[in-house]
Chain A
């Protein structure tokens, strides 16, 4: 009996210990997001006048503004359009490239593979000027495809790199067996090979989506009105009547949502991707 209490006590203390640390960790993690949500549900006067841990005068006006004003919600639509375009293009282009790198040896393949990755070492700002001039002169300026293509510069190499790792894990004998069975290349690739690397495609698509979604500099430089992304809209909200704090906070909350949704759906794939060591 005495022994049982003696062993139980430290166990309980340990649980308390870890609970406290975990609680603090979560508190610090959640705090900025909570404050954003908190602000988005307050009126401007409450934000500026008092310090309150939760909205004393709960209002959804800020969200209403965003969801009814085209200059706001079109920012989300524009962002989503070019992000999805970019994700589709990146994966479509990277799949055959990664297959070639994983299955064939050709002159300079290793150098080319490394060089692809080195594309990601330059900051996007470096490419803002050439893209701006190029797109202006060929009439692509302020279009969704312009931003989508610009982001491909970063996302295609990353997608090739990730997909190649997944494809390398599939034995070459599966390809050969399929050819012997009579599959043509494309039929084999779509029916047999793609399901095998589905998690890799998920991981690559996730990274392409995330980069394109959070990238601000190129998307702002290459657009003015018709393809203006939400991040750019958020940085241009100082009006004659001052800063609209509440609406900005609401816009911030809505900007987090798509990323969080994507992460939620691909979380298992990401874990697998990390386990395979190419992310």
Chain B
């Protein structure tokens, strides 16, 4: 079973929601849609579900064109960010409702409902109404209803965004496990790069209604095809600085020079954009060739085991994520170190021309 989007686009009013997109989701894969709020994740899911009709293009399900087909006949399941259940029915009836509509026998329904409830730890609440449950239980009820249907395509639209931290951690572990048992195509929308990395599978990064890259999650993370993808798939956002290559030397802003090595050596002379992730900003010199920058500290946030710093450097705003607790006075001058092995090089059009050396090694 595969879901294929061919040149699918969508508009609402005068606004373009999805630019023409091609996407193929293979059977039994976990697919993460990663992008900031308003990038079109939900709209793309609505197109996949059949809740919205694409303006152009076709949607194929196992090679069959389902573009204009009614939602009811699609055989999909969906869970929203808000906790959506049928308030007037008990949890049991909520979970059972999709199966009842499929005309299954009551013994079969009962077995499936109890199994799903067990999986979602809802067994003791089966007689309650959804609104009598906590938020996490309500969302688990919605998930159970989506799973019991055994749909070929399960769409999860930021299902954990409204849950508290603890529950989210638990569910993040649960979802991939459930997915592996189901064998369906899962599509999971999220704004958090960390969540995408935890879920694994494939990731499609979205930016302003366009899929910038689609591939295995670690690959998209390590080798983003362009600066936009790198920006979307980094939390905190990727830092940038201008870079010039001349002969076997590269000149970074602020007068730093490094030897062109590895893939960078193969680039033609000219202007480039260098990018590096926040966790690669270092307060101490770890390698001999590390580049030294004098930055001004704007904000520090201490999370307990990590220190998150905002820096002003080379007319850019940088973010740094540093291990351990550092009590640094705000406004002070701070020396930070960068290793050239951690630098991605993007062309002036934003396309990746040389991935960072560490990403290739891994």
Residues of A within 8 A of B (CB): 171, 173-174, 176-184, 192, 195-196
Contacts and interface: CB of A to CB of B under 8 A. Distances in A.
Contacts of B87: 195-196
Contacts of A183: 72, 97, 101
25 contacts: A171-B82, A171-B84, A173-B80, A173-B82, A173-B84, A176-B71, A176-B78, A177-B78, A179-B51, A179-B70, A179-B71, A179-B72, A180-B51, A180-B77, A180-B78, A181-B101, A182-B72, A182-B98, A182-B102, A183-B72, A184-B72, A192-B86, A195-B87, A196-B87, A196-B88
A178 B74 CA distance: 13
Contact of B97 (A171, A174, A181, A184): A181
Interface string B69-98: 011101011101010101111000000011
B87 to A, nearest CB: 6
Given A178-B86, A180-B72, 10 more contacts: A171-B82, A174-B86, A176-B51, A177-B78, A179-B71, A179-B72, A184-B72, A192-B88, A195-B87, A196-B88
B183 to A, nearest CB: 19
A141 to B, nearest CB: 44
B145 interface: yes
Interface in B83-128: 84, 86-89, 97-98, 101-102
A180 B101 contact: no
A260 B87 CA distance: 31
A192 B51 CA distance: 19
A269 to B, nearest CB: 15
Interface string B139-170: 00010010001000000000000000000000
Which of B77, B82, B88 gathers most chain A CB within 10 Å? B88
Interface string B13-52: 0000000000000000000000000000000000001010
Nearest to A182: B101
A177 B101 contact: no
A234 B110 CA distance: 61
Interface of B: 49, 51, 70-72, 74, 76-78, 80, 82, 84, 86-89, 97-98, 101-102, 142, 145, 149
A173 B86 CA distance: 11
A182 B49 CA distance: 12
Nearest to A178: B86
B98 A181 contact: yes
Contact of B80 (A177, A178, A179): A177
| Main SS at interface, chain A | helix
A171 B87 CA distance: 11
Contacts of A192: 86, 88-89
Nearest to A170: B87
B80 A181 contact: no
Nearest to B76: A180
A178 B142 CA distance: 12
B109 to A, nearest CB: 13
A192 B88 CA distance: 7
Nearest to A198: B88
A177 B84 contact: yes
A199 to B, nearest CB: 12
Nearest to B46: A176
B226 to A, nearest CB: 34
Nearest to A184: B72
B20 to A, nearest CB: 25
A122 to B, nearest CB: 36
B88 A180 contact: no
Contacts of B82: 171, 173
A174 B145 CA distance: 13
A16 B80 CA distance: 56
Contacts of A173: 80, 82, 84
B80 A180 contact: no
Contacts of B49: 180
A195 B88 CA distance: 6
Nearest to B71: A179
B46 to A, nearest CB: 8
Contacts of B101: 181-183
Which of A171, A176, A196 gathers most chain B CB within 10 Å? A176
B88 to A, nearest CB: 4
Nearest to A174: B84
Nearest to B80: A173
A181 B88 contact: no
Contacts of A196: 87-88
Which of B70, B72, B98, B102 gathers most chain A CB within 10 Å? B72
A181 B145 contact: yes
A156 B97 CA distance: 33
B267 to A, nearest CB: 49
Contacts of A195: 87-88
B90 to A, nearest CB: 12
B66 to A, nearest CB: 14
A192 B142 CA distance: 15
Nearest to B13: A105
A182 B149 CA distance: 10
A177 to B, nearest CB: 5
The 10 closest A-B pairs by CB, nearest first: A195-B88, A182-B101, A181-B98, A179-B71, A173-B84, A173-B80, A177-B84, A180-B78, A182-B72, A192-B86
Contacts of B86: 174, 178, 192
Contacts of A182: 72, 98, 101-102
A180 B71 contact: yes
Nearest to B102: A182
Nearest to B51: A176
A106 to B, nearest CB: 14
A181 B51 CA distance: 12
A173 B83 CA distance: 9
